Amino acid sequence: MNRIFASSQKLNSEAMVDFVNALCKRHLDHRKRLIIAMDAAFGMEYLHSKNIVHFDLKCDNLLVNMKDSSRPICKVGDFGLSKIKRNTLVSGGVRGTLPWMAPELLNGGSNKVSEKVDVFSFGIVLWEILTREEPYANMHYGAIIGGIVNNTLRPTIPSDCDPEWRRLMELCWSPDPAVRPSFTEITNQLRVMSAACQSKGHAHKAT
C-alpha cells in the first residue's frame, strides 16, 4: 500500500522538511498557515476517498516545502499505521500517538472505529499549526488518556484565535464522531477562510 503513495508523487527530499522544523525556522502568517492546513486536508481527503485511514496524523508527520516562501507546500507522510477501511469501518485498537488519538480509540467501548479518528487528529493539528506548541507537553500520559476519554481535556485555544479557525478545531475534536466534519467539508471551509483572508489582505492594500 505504501508503494502506491510513494509512486503517486516524487517528493524532493532535500526541499521537504518536517513541519515542526519549518515552524522553527520561518515566520508563518495566517495566510500561510491556512495554505498548510488546506494542503494537509486535501491529502487526507484523498486518502479517505481511497478508503484509507491514516491513524497517526500529527504535525510531525507533515512534510513542508518552503522553497517558495510565499506559497509553502505541505504533504502528509508516514503511512506506517494506515489501514484500508472495510464496510466503512476499520478494526479499532491502540493506534497512533496519544495526544492526537480520538476518544473512541482509547475508551475500549467498541472494536470498530471510523475514519473520523483522523478528523479528531486534524483538530489537534490545527491547534499545533496555530500555536507552534506540542499538545499536553507537561502532562502525564495517564492524565491525558483520562482527559481524552472523559472529554474533559482539549488543548487551550489562544484568546486571539480567529473565530472560524476555533470553530473548525472544535468541530474536528468533537467527542462524537458523527459531529466531526468530513475532510471534504473541512477543505471547503478552509477555502472559505482562505478567500476571506485574501479579501482582507486586498482591502488593507487598497487603504
For residue 178 the three cell numbers come to 458523527
Which residues does 150 contact at the CB level (< 8 Å), separation at least 6?
none
Where in the sequence is the domain holding 28, given as residue range(s)?
12-194
The pLDDT score that the predictor gives to residue 6 is: 37
Query: How large a percentage of the chain has pLDDT more than 70?
Result: 74
Spatial separation of the C-alpha atoms in residues 111 and 161, rounded to whole Å: 36
Spatial separation of the C-alpha atoms in residues 81 and 60, rounded to whole Å: 14
CB 161 within 8 A of CB 72: no
Domain count, the chain: 1
Query: How large a percentage of the chain has pLDDT more than 90?
Result: 52
CATH of the domain at 82: 1.10.510.10
Residue 154 in domain: yes
Q: State pLDDT tens for residues 80-107.
A: 555 665 544 444 445 778 899 999 988 8
56 is catalytic: yes
Sequential DSSP letters for 13-40: TTTEEEHHHHHHHS---HHHHHHHHHHH
Range 102-122 average pLDDT? 86
Residue 80 in domain: yes
Q: E strands along the chain, which residues? A: 16-18, 52-53, 62-65, 73-76, 83-84, 90-91, 112-113
Catalytic-role residue among 18, 29, 56, 176: 56
